[in-house]
């Protein structure tokens, strides 16, 4: 299998490495990137090759691993290079799924969203198999063999979930970081220490990634509104809000 990874950053490299490690017949990998130096570095790291973005070569599988805002346009640009299958690794699904259906209608098409940074793999990987087939089935098998938990979803279900698990969660953690004051370790509680750990994890990434998520999904404003409501609440209202939060965190108790 010939594989073209469009976007030679960490996630694109993770995808190529996972297939190389967990397929009996590893693919011949090519990387392309708007930054040719990044493509060359990825190719050197993974014993592949770098190709120009405007190459007219065709590949059995094209994997698009670029930032959310440019995923749909990148699919449009590179879909013609896929002879059998195309997939993406974006954090949003509605637009990539639609773009692949429009620009690669005769190909196998699967949208994957690894819910982790490559350094934290393996983990959960929701997917939309818009048009499954032998090549994408091999990809799914390789990802599963690497220890990832793959499950099928729909673009609407996925994108709605991301409003909470990404946009709202990240906004809440970063807002805490902006409001918090440095304190000696001896004053930490189990809850505060856990929240500081989460803050460290979020701020250990790239600001652009989190900005893209806030732009792609609604939800951050809901966190700000809820915080203002809590801050302004009298005791009775606070208890009502507390109970509301409790019900949401323990839905099986109802």
The predicted pLDDT at position 251 comes to 76
Give residue limits of the domains in the chain. 2-153, 157-253
Q: What CA–CA distance (Å, rounded) separates 25 from 169?
A: 40
* pTM (predicted TM-score): 0.92
The per-residue pLDDT for range 131-184, each reduced to its tens digit, is: 999 999 999 999 999 999 999 999 999 999 999 999 999 999 999 999 999 999
Whether domain 2-153 has CATH 3.60.110.10: the reply is no
Contacts of 176 (CB under 8 A, 6+ apart): 195, 199
pLDDT at site 153: 98
Asked if the model's pLDDT at residue 254 lies above 70, the reply is no
């Amino acid at each position: 299998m010939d594989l073209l990874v469009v976007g030679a950053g960490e996630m694109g490299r993770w995808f190529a490495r996972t297939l190389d490690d967990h397929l009996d017949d590893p693919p011949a990998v090519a990387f392309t990137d708007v930054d040719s130096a990044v493509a060359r570095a990825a190719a050197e790291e993974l014993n592949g090759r770098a190709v120009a973005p405007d190459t007219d070569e065709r590949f059995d599988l094209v994997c698009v691993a670029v930032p959310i805002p440019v995923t749909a346009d990148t699919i449009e640009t590179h879909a013609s290079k896929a002879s059998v299958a195309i997939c993406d690794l974006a954090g949003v699904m509605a637009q990539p799924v639609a773009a692949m259906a429009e620009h690669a209608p005769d190909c196998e098409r699967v949208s994957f969203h690894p819910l982790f940074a490559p350094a934290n793999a393996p983990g959960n990987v929701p997917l939309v198999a818009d048009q499954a087939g032998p090549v994408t089935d091999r990809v799914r098998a390789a990802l599963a063999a690497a220890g990832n938990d793959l499950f099928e979803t729909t673009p609407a279900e996925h994108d709605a979930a991301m409003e909470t698990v990404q946009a709202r969660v990240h906004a809440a953690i970063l807002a805490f970081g902006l409001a918090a004051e440095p304190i000696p370790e001896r004053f930490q509680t189990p809850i505060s220490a856990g929240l500081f750990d989460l803050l460290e994890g979020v701020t250990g990434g790239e600001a652009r990634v989190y900005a893209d998520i806030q732009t792609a999904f609604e939800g951050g404003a809901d966190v700000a509104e809820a915080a203002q409501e809590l801050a302004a609440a009298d005791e009775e209202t606070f208890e009502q809000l507390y109970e509301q939060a409790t019900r949401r965190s323990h839905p099986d108790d109802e």
